Amino acid sequence: MDYHGISVLDEPIAGRRYFLDPTSPEVVDLVAATSRHILESYPALEGIQLDFIRYYHYHSRFTVLAQELGHTLSLLAEGSPVQLVVGDKRVTFFLEQKDMLYHDPPLGKELHFHRQFSYCFCSRCIEEFCRRQGAVLPAELQSTQEKAEWILGHLGEAWVHFRAQVLEDLLAEVRRAVKGVGADKELSITVWYSSPYGSELVGRAADLDSAVWDFGQDWWRWAEVGLVDFVCPMNYWLTTESFQMVIAKQRSRLKGDLPLFSGILRSPEHPLSGEELTAYLEAARRAGAAGLCFFHYGTWRDLDWKVGKAR
Ligand SMILES: [Zn+2]
């Protein structure tokens, strides 16, 4: 359930993506049991990597030029929901701001819509948050969005901590399952370096703390309390210079010498030659990474490159 009270069951992300809610004991059991089952079924596997060990987050915005929208303008008030319908899929946005030239004649300027894909504000999560924090929500709050707004406005930091703790509890349970199969089995996680995705491509510097605030990934802490054997930050869409800088910052926050394998992406939009890959690998090593983690397999097949000492 997101900030507005819309469930992914009703509006899956991009029409097809659903998420499990980690405050559900059944979800925790499912992920732990599945991890155990995979390792027991394939004894040659060295461990489990949890990829999407995070809350989905995206603050979506778009602007419409509305000069000639006409009388429909009067229908739209700030806060109004508007749905985009594509076939049998739909996605709801909310009018955040309405800039008018004149109300009569109906000449608009711009309509700014948004949707805060921020999870999870289902009643179980809110109740569990209140229980752990000893918090009581004001009785007059009725809708999910009113509750979410109040929580973020009054107990924002506690909410961030709560979500990270929920993921940490899940991780601890998965670790018990993995180590239960064999003490030598390893558990690793995929984490984000910044929010929103690809921040550098839209002129924003990487903000490491946003991984905790937006995705619930307090992964330095998870490393410190011994829940993971190595980490793979998805350091995608960065120049080699930024790649090195981001890894160095990530390394400096990691207590001890837990191995960090920096994620690297190759795609049609972001092609990499063998020489460029070598440059990234060298940048990673200079920053103290143990190696690279490749995303995703299919995109690397045609690259003529020798692995050398990289893992
Ligand atoms: Zn929930």
Residue 123 alpha carbon to ligand 1 centre in Å: 7
3-class secondary structure, 110 = strand
Residue 7 alpha carbon to ligand 1 centre in Å: 9
Buried b (16+ CB within 10 A) or exposed e, 270-281: eebeeeebeebb
Write the single-letter amino acid at 189: I
What residue spans in the chain does CATH classification 3.20.20.80 cover? 25-55+156-300
For the range 81-88, what are the long-range contacts, defined as Cβ-Cβ under 8 Å and sequence gap of 24 or more? 82/113, 86/15
Residue 9 alpha carbon to ligand 1 centre in Å: 12
Give me the sign of the Cα torsion angle 190, 193, 196, 197.
Answer: negative
Give me the sign of the Cα torsion angle 247, 250, 253, 256.
Answer: negative
Q: What architecture (CATH level 2) is domain 25-55+156-300?
A: Alpha-Beta Barrel (3.20)
Q: Are strands 57-65 and 107-118 parallel, antiparallel or unpaired?
A: antiparallel
Residue 38 alpha carbon to ligand 1 centre in Å: 27
Residue 278 alpha carbon to ligand 1 centre in Å: 43
Residue 177 alpha carbon to ligand 1 centre in Å: 23
- Which residues, 6 or more positions from 123, have their beta carbon under 8 angstroms from its beta carbon? none
Buried b (16+ CB within 10 A) or exposed e, 168-201: bebbbbbbebbeebeeebbbbbbbbbbbeeebbe
Residue 36 alpha carbon to ligand 1 centre in Å: 25
Residue 120 alpha carbon to ligand 1 centre in Å: 4
Predicted pLDDT at 205: 86
Tens digit of pLDDT at every position of the chain (311 positions)? 999 999 999 999 999 999 999 999 999 999 999 999 999 999 999 999 999 999 999 999 999 999 999 999 999 999 999 999 999 999 999 999 999 999 999 999 999 999 999 999 999 999 999 999 999 999 999 999 999 999 999 999 999 999 999 999 999 999 999 999 999 999 999 999 999 888 888 888 889 999 999 999 999 999 999 999 999 999 999 999 999 999 999 999 998 889 999 999 999 999 999 999 999 999 999 999 999 999 988 898 888 777 654 44
pTM of the model: 0.93
Q: Phi first, then psi: what are they for 40, rounded to 5°?
A: -70, -30
